[in-house]
C-alpha cells in the first residue's frame, strides 16, 4: 500500500516555505552593501616572515613584512633612480680618506606607541649605536638573541670592516672603518640596516624576554605592528606620529597566501588590493583586465642552479659542467618565465654597469654532458636531489616546475633526480647546513652595487651566513672580489668582475639561469604603489582611491 492522495495542499505549503526561505537567503547574500573598510589596504604576501627584524634574515619575505613598514634606516634609496637619500640621518659627511663617516640625525622622530611599549624619549644616537653594535659586536648583550646570526652583514664581513661606532652628541654619530669600502653607504641604505629602539630593548632585557624585540617589533616607520598569526595574516596600523608627511591608508593587512593561483584569484575577487609575485602564466590576464594594473621593471636579480660543492661528486668541476650542459636553459626560460626574463650568462643582469655582454656561457649539449660524466666515473642511474624552493620569487616563479622539467633533461643523460622541498624557513635552514646536492634558488639585489651579487653569493665568508648556496670557497675568487672594493674606479672594477666571471665559468659552482622582470599586480582601486627594485615593498603612500 502506498499513500498517494490528498498530499498536494500539504506539499504546496512545504514548498512555499522553502521557496521563501531560499529567496530570502539569496537576497541577503547578493545585497550590495559596503563591507570593506574604506581606509584599509590588503596585500597578499607569499609566505610567513621568519622574524620582524630584517637584520636577522636576508629573505625578501621578512624584508617585505618589516623593513619599510615598521622601520627606517639612516639612509634610503630613491626607488626611481637608486640614489642614496637622507633617512633618519638628515645629512652625512665622508672623510677624504674614506675611513670616517659622520651622520647628523633627525631630532623629531618618535618610536611607535603600541599596546606593549610606550616610548619615553625620541629617537637619538643611542638607537643607532645599539642597532649597529647588535650585529657588529659578538660581546653585545643582544648579539646572541634570536639565533645570533646576521646573514647579510656576515656575508659581507661588514662587522670586521667597521672599526668603531661613536656617539659625538645625542644627534651625531661617527662610524670609522678599517679600510675604505666603496659600497658602505649603499649597505647602510639596504633593507637590513634598520634602526631599532634601544629603550625598548633595555626594557625587554630587564623583563627577561629579549627575543620579543624581533617578534613584537618597535620602529619609527610609517606603520606600527598590531598582530601576526603565522600562515594567516600580519596586521599594521598607520603610525600617527610618523616624521614624514605620508598619506598611507589607516590599516594595512598582509594576507599570507602561499599559492600564487590563490593570490591571483583573490586579486580578481577584490580580497587583495595588491599581490606579491604574480605567476607568469597570469600576467597576460592581469594586463588585459580593466580593473587591474600590472607594473613591471627590469629586475636586479638572478635565478640559478647551485651545486653543493662540498659534497662529492659535485666537488668535481667537470661533473658540475656536465650537469650544466645537460639542461636546455632556453626551454626552461620559455616554460617557466614565459619569456618574461632574459637569459643569464653570469651573476649580474644587463641593468648593472658590471654586465659583461661577451661572457662565456655553456650551451645545451647532452652528448658532451654524458661524455664528461663518464670521464668523471658517474654511472648511469646516478641519483641526486634538486631542492626546489617552495615560494615564488621574481627570479624563479616556479622552482618546483623548473625542477620537474630539469629532471626530464637529466634523465636523458642517465641521472635520476629526486625533487625535495620543505617549508621555506626550514628549507633555508637545511640549505645552510648543506643537506642538498643542488638547489634552484636565486638572489635579488639589495643595492645597485655588483658587489652585492658577487660577494654574498659565492665568497667563503658567505658559507656560514647561508647565502652561498654552492658552499663554494675559492681563495682566488675571494681575492678578486676583495680587490674590486678597494677602488672607486669603475673601469678597473669592471675588469676585475669580468675576471671573476671567467673563473665562475671554468669552475661552474652554479649555473646562472635567468634575470627576470619584476612584477607587481595591483587593483585599480589603490594608488601610490611603486616598485622598489632595491628590496622590500613599501606602503607608506599607498591609499585607496576615493
Partner 1 sequence: MSQFNLYQEEFQPSPIKNIWLEFKQSHFALAGLAVLLVFCTIAIVGPIFAPYDPSLQNTNALLLPPSWASNGSISHLLGTDSLGRDVFARVLYGSQTTFVSSVVLVAVALIVGVTLGTLAGMSSGVRSSILNHFLDALLAIPTLLIAIIIVAILGTGLINSMLAIILALIPQFVHQTRTFVRNEMEKDYILLDKLDGAGKFRIFWHSILPAMFELLAVQSTIALSIAIIDISALGFLNLGAQGVTVELGAMLSQSLESAYVAPWLVIVPGLCVFMLVLSVNIVGEGLRSALRNRLIH
Partner 2 sequence: MITLLIRYLNLLTITFGVLIVFSFALAYLFPGDVLTNMSGIVPQSDAQRQALEKAYKLDQSIFSQFWHYLSNLFAGNWGVSFVSQADLLSEIKIAFPATIELTLYALLVAVFIGIPIGFIGGLNHHKPFDFGVVCYSVISYSFPVFWLALIFITIFSLQAGMFPLSGRINLLFDIPHQSGFILLDIFYSNIDNKSAAYIDAFKHLALPTLSIAIVTTAIFIRFARRSIMDVMEMGYIDAAKSRGFTTTQIFFKHGLRNALLPILPLMALQVSTLITNAMVVETIFSWPGIGSWLIQAIYQRDYPAIRMGMLVVSVFVVTLTITIEFLSRAIDPARDRFERVSV
Residue 426 binds to partner 2 (criterion: CB under 8 A): yes
> What SS3 string covers 310-377?
CCCCCCCHHHHHHHHHHCCHHHHHHHHHCCCEEECCCCCCCCCCCCCCCCCCCCCCHHHHHHHHHHCC
Of 74-82, 174-182, 255-263, 505-513, which segment contacts partner 2 by CB under 8 A?
A: 255-263
- What torsion, rounded to 10 degrees, do the Cα atoms 522, 524, 530, 534 define? 10
Q: How far is the CB of 331 from partner 1 (least distance, A)?
A: 4
> Binding to partner 1 (CB under 8 A): which residues in 290-349?
331, 334-335, 338
Number of residues that bind partner 1 (CB under 8 A): 22
Q: Which residues of 23-60 are buried (b: 16+ CB within 10 A; e: fewer)?
A: eeeeeeeeeeeeeeeeebbbbbbbbbbbbbbbbbbbbb
Residue 265 binds to partner 1 (criterion: CB under 8 A): yes
Residue 419 binds to partner 1 (criterion: CB under 8 A): yes
Residue 190 CA to residue 197 CA, distance in Å, equals: 18
Task: Count other Cβ atoms within 10 Å, centred on residue 342.
Answer: 17
Q: Closest by alpha carbon to 200, among 292, 70, 15, 369?
A: 70
**Which of 422, 474, 482, 486 is close enough to bind partner 2 by CB under 8 A?**
422
Q: Is the Cβ–Cβ distance between 332 and 341 less than 8 Å? A: no
Task: Count other Cβ atoms within 10 Å, centred on residue 150.
Answer: 22
Nearer to partner 1, 70 or 417 (CB): 417
Nearer to partner 1, 40 or 390 (CB): 390
Residue 16 binds to partner 2 (criterion: CB under 8 A): no
Residue 265 binds to partner 2 (criterion: CB under 8 A): yes
Residue 475 CA to residue 438 CA, distance in Å, equals: 22
Residue 401 binds to partner 1 (criterion: CB under 8 A): yes
Note every long-range contact of 526-530, with CB atoms under 8 Å and residues 24 or more positions apart, other chains counting.
526/41, 526/273, 526/274, 528/247, 528/248, 529/274, 529/295, 530/79, 530/80, 530/295
Nearer to partner 2, 40 or 86 (CB): 40
**Which of 99, 202, 226, 405 is close enough to bind partner 1 by CB under 8 A?**
405
**Which of 404, 430, 474, 541 is close enough to bind partner 1 by CB under 8 A?**
404
Residue 235 binds to partner 2 (criterion: CB under 8 A): yes
- Contact pattern from residue 463 through residue 502 relative to partner 1, giving x for each residue in contact according to CB under 8 A and a dash for the rest: ----------------------------------------
Q: How far is the CB of 539 from partner 2 (least distance, A)?
A: 14
Number of residues that bind partner 2 (CB under 8 A): 45
Of 114-122, 248-256, 404-412, 466-474, which segment contacts partner 2 by CB under 8 A?
A: 248-256
**Which of 99, 185, 202, 262 is close enough to bind partner 2 by CB under 8 A?**
262
- What torsion, rounded to 10 degrees, do the Cα atoms 432, 426, 306, 190 define? -70
Q: How far is the CB of 332 from partner 2 (least distance, A)?
A: 26
Judging by beta carbons within 10 Å of its beta carbon (0-12, 13-18, 19+), is residue 393 exposed, middle or buried? buried
Residue 435 binds to partner 1 (criterion: CB under 8 A): no
> Binding to partner 2 (CB under 8 A): which residues in 266-285?
266, 268-271
Residue 523 binds to partner 2 (criterion: CB under 8 A): no
All residues at 6 or more sequence positions from 393 whose CB lies less than 8 Å from its CB, including other chains:
60, 277, 301, 303, 442, 444
Residue 435 binds to partner 2 (criterion: CB under 8 A): no
Residue 27 binds to partner 2 (criterion: CB under 8 A): no
Largest CA distance in the chain: 109
> Binding to partner 2 (CB under 8 A): which residues in 180-209?
none
Residue 420 binds to partner 1 (criterion: CB under 8 A): no
| H or E element that contains 444 | strand 438-444
Positions in the binding site for partner 2 (CB under 8 A): 1-7, 9-11, 14-15, 18, 28-31, 33-37, 40, 42, 226, 230-233, 235, 251, 253, 255, 257, 262, 265-266, 268-271, 422-423, 425-426
Amino acid at each position: 500500500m502506498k499513500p498517494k492522495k490528498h498530499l498536494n495542499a500539504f506539499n504546496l505549503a512545504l514548498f512555499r516555505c522553502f521557496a521563501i526561505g531560499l529567496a530570502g537567503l539569496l537576497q541577503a547574500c547578493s545585497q550590495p552593501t559596503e563591507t570593506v573598510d574604506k581606509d584599509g589596504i590588503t596585500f597578499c604576501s607569499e609566505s610567513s616572515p621568519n622574524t620582524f627584524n630584517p637584520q636577522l634574515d636576508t629573505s625578501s619575505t621578512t624584508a617585505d613584512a618589516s623593513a619599510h613598514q615598521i622601520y627606517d634606516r639612516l639612509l634610503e634609496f630613491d626607488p626611481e633612480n637608486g640614489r642614496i637619500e637622507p633617512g633618519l640621518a638628515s645629512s652625512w659627511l665622508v672623510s677624504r680618506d674614506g675611513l670616517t663617516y659622520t651622520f647628523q640625525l633627525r631630532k623629531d622622530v618618535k618610536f611607535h606607541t603600541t599596546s606593549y611599549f610606550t616610548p619615553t624619549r625620541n629617537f637619538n644616537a643611542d638607537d643607532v649605536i645599539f642597532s649597529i653594535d647588535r650585529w657588529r659586536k659578538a660581546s653585545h648583550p643582544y648579539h646572541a638573541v634570536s639565533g645570533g646570526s646576521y646573514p647579510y652583514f656576515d656575508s659581507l664581513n661588514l662587522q670586521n670592516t667597521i672599526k668603531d661606532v661613536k656617539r659625538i652628541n645625542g644627534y651625531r654619530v661617527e662610524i670609522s672603518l678599517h679600510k675604505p669600502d666603496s659600497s658602505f653607504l649603499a649597505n647602510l641604505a639596504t633593507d637590513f640596516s634598520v634602526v631599532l629602539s634601544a629603550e625598548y630593548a633595555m626594557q625587554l632585557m630587564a623583563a627577561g624576554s629579549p627575543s620579543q624585540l624581533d617578534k613584537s617589533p618597535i620602529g619609527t616607520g610609517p606603520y606600527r605592528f598590531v598582530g601576526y598569526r603565522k600562515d594567516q595574516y600580519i596586521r599594521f596600523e598607520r603610525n600617527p606620529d610618523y616624521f614624514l608627511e605620508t598619506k598611507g591608508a589607516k590599516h594595512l593587512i598582509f594576507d599570507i597566501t602561499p599559492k600564487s593561483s590563490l593570490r591571483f584569484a583573490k586579486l580578481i575577487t577584490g580580497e587583495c588590493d595588491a599581490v606579491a609575485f604574480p605567476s607568469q602564466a597570469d600576467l597576460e590576464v592581469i594586463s588585459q583586465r580593466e580593473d587591474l594594473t600590472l607594473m613591471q621593471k627590469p629586475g636586479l636579480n638572478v635565478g640559478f642552479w647551485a651545486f653543493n660543492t662540498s659534497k662529492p661528486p659535485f666537488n668535481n668541476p667537470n661533473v658540475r659542467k656536465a650537469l650544466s650542459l645537460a639542461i636546455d636553459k632556453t626551454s626552461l626560460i620559455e616554460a617557466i618565465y614565459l619569456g618574461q626574463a632574459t637569459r643569464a650568462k653570469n651573476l649580474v643582469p644587463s641593468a648593472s654597469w658590471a654586465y659583461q655582454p661577451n661572457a662565456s656561457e655553456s650551451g645545451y649539449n647532452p652528448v658532451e654532458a654524458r661524455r664528461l660524466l663518464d670521464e668523471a666515473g658517474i654511472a648511469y642511474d646516478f641519483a641526486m636531489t634538486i631542492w626546489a624552493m617552495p615560494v615564488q620569487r621574481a627570479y624563479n616563479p616556479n622552482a618546483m616546475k623548473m625542477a620537474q622539467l630539469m629532471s626530464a633533461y637529466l634523465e636523458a643523460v642517465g641521472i635520476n633526480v629526486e625533487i625535495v622541498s620543505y617549508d621555506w624557513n626550514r628549507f633555508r635552514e637545511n640549505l645552510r647546513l648543506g643537506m642538498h646536492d643542488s638547489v634552484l634558488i636565486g638572489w635579488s639585489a639589495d643595492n645597485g652595487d655588483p658587489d652585492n651579487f658577487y660577494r654574498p653569493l659565492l665568497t667563503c665568508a658567505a658559507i656560514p651566513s647561508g647565502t652561498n648556496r654552492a658552499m663554494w670557497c675559492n681563495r682566488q675568487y675571494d681575492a678578486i672580489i676583495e680587490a674590486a672594493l678597494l677602488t672607486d674606479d669603475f673601469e678597473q672594477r669592471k675588469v676585475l668582475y669580468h675576471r671573476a666571471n671567467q673563473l665562475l665559468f671554468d669552475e661552474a659552482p652554479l649555473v646562472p639561469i635567468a634575470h627576470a622582470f619584476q612584477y607587481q599586480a595591483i587593483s585599480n582601486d589603490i594608488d601610490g604603489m611603486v616598485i622598489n627594485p632595491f628590496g622590500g615593498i613599501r606602503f607608506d603612500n599607498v591609499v585607496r582611491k576615493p
